Amino acid sequence: MASVGVIGASGFTGAELLRLLAGHPDLEVTVATGDTQAGVRARDLYPDLAAAYPDLVFEEFEPRSCEGLDLVFCALPHGASQAVMGDLLARVPHVIDLGADFRLQDATLYPVWYGEPHQAPDLLADFVYGLPEVFRDRLRGAAAIAVPGCYPTTATLALAPFVRHGLVDPSRLIVDAASGVSGAGRPPKPHTTFCAVDEDFTAYGLLDHRHTPEIEQNLRAVAPSSQQVEVLFTPHLAPMNRGILATCYGRPATTVSTASLLEALHADYDAEPFVIVTEQPPSTKATLGSNTVQVTARYDPRTGWVIALAALDNLVKGASGQAVQCANLALGIEETAGLSTIGIYP
């Protein structure tokens, strides 16, 4: 049994990690920190965890408390893990960061998209990007893993097969995606209160959302080396707790059909335990609580556009479930351990 810590366990992704790890056959939580909730019992903040963690109390983060752990999950807000990552990597064999701090390989992108320079640019090269369906071989045994954002996971898995096989022009891609409110985190914000979100549907981050370069970086990794990758990404906030649905558009780079697009999805994903290729339009409800992503595609001969769709649970495959999947690979555990492919319905 490997001992793990969850730094930032009091947030939504941290609590989801606790939920998933409670049912993991090979991982045991021994440290759970939450600075804003230090001294609070996990069961009082998240009553759903009462049976699994009846006595767990959130601690203040102290790097020395991670000594002797086999692996640490960092579920901190953007910018927070940059300051402590060097210390953590020196103390723990495996660190998995769920934030955006180490996802981008190019340090010069952080001031442009995140509004501030990176505090530890020398560590960026140490991190493997944690999307198993694209980078699995690099994740096995990895010491430092940066888990993707929920939007980039959805968009990448929808589009990667078509970029990889030269079926779409990667320089003319459009991604429209809608996320549940939990993607904004646990702390209350004026635009995420019930009254603000209920009966509303809105776009945000127009033209400059920080996940844009992450999506482009992922697709560049699978595109032919000579091809430019450019994505117009527009996120939306939907009045639901969980889930992301991405509708992606591209221009064909060769002769395609709906059948050939579905064939490409099946070729890339039929062996993947957490990707389901469906002929029906994917839905967020179908993936609720599971680590699966559902994908499909169509070609519209009338307008000449390829449409690729993907749906997932933003807190599971879009965050904590994917982090557990990466932890399994890093520790040499069965990749599917502790993760469900079955959603909750209705």
Q: Report pLDDT digits (tens) over 254-266.
A: 999 999 999 999 9
Name the residues annotated as catalytic. 150
Q: What per-residue confidence (pLDDT) applies to 195?
A: 85
Q: What per-residue confidence (pLDDT) applies to 4?
A: 98
**Residues 6 or more apart from 194 whose CB is under 8 A from it?**
none
The ranges assigned to domains in the chain are 2-147+317-331, 151-314
Instruction: Please state, in angstroms and rounded to a whole number, the distance separating the CA atoms of residues 80 and 65.
Output: 17
Instruction: Please state, in angstroms and rounded to a whole number, the distance separating the CA atoms of residues 84 and 1.
Output: 26
3-state secondary structure of 4: strand
Neighbours of 93 (CB within 10 A): 14
Q: What per-residue confidence (pLDDT) applies to 300?
A: 98
The structure tokens listed for 18 are 């606790």
3-state secondary structure of 57: strand
**Residues 6 or more apart from 158 whose CB is under 8 A from it?**
175, 246, 248, 295, 297, 308, 309, 310
Give the phi and the psi of residue 114 in degrees, each rounded to 5: -115, -5
Contact between residue 179 and residue 311 where contact means Cβ atoms under 8 Å apart:
no
Which stretches within the chain are classed as H helix? 12-22, 42-45, 80-91, 109-114, 132-139, 150-164, 194-197, 212-222, 258-269, 321-331
Q: Which of 73, 31, 317, 296 is nearest to 183 (CA)?
A: 317
Q: Which of 141, 70, 54 is nearest to 329 (CA)?
A: 141
Give the phi and the psi of residue 307 in degrees, each rounded to 5: -120, 125
Question: Residue 46 belongs to what H/E stretch?
Answer: none
Q: What per-residue confidence (pLDDT) applies to 311?
A: 98
- DSSP letter at 339? -
Query: Which residues in the chain show pLDDT less than 70?
Result: none
What's the predicted TM-score (pTM) here?
Answer: 0.96
CATH class of 2-147+317-331: alpha beta
Q: Report pLDDT digits (tens) over 122-139.
A: 999 999 999 999 999 999
Neighbours of 284 (CB within 10 A): 22
Give the phi and the psi of residue 49 in degrees, each rounded to 5: -95, 0
CATH 3.40.50.10800 fits 151-314, yes or no: no
3-state secondary structure of 75: coil
Unique residue bearing structure tokens 């640490």:
72
Instruction: Please state, in angstroms and rounded to a whole number, the distance separating the CA atoms of residues 321 and 323.
Output: 5
- b (16+ CB within 10 A) / e for 111-133: eeebeeebebeebbebbbbbbbb
Instruction: Please state, in angstroms and rounded to a whole number, the distance separating the CA atoms of residues 321 and 244.
Output: 14
Question: Dihedral sign, CA of 155, 160, 161, 163?
Answer: positive
Q: What per-residue confidence (pLDDT) applies to 226?
A: 78
Q: What per-residue confidence (pLDDT) applies to 189?
A: 82
Examine domains 2-147+317-331 and 151-314 and report if their fold is the same: no
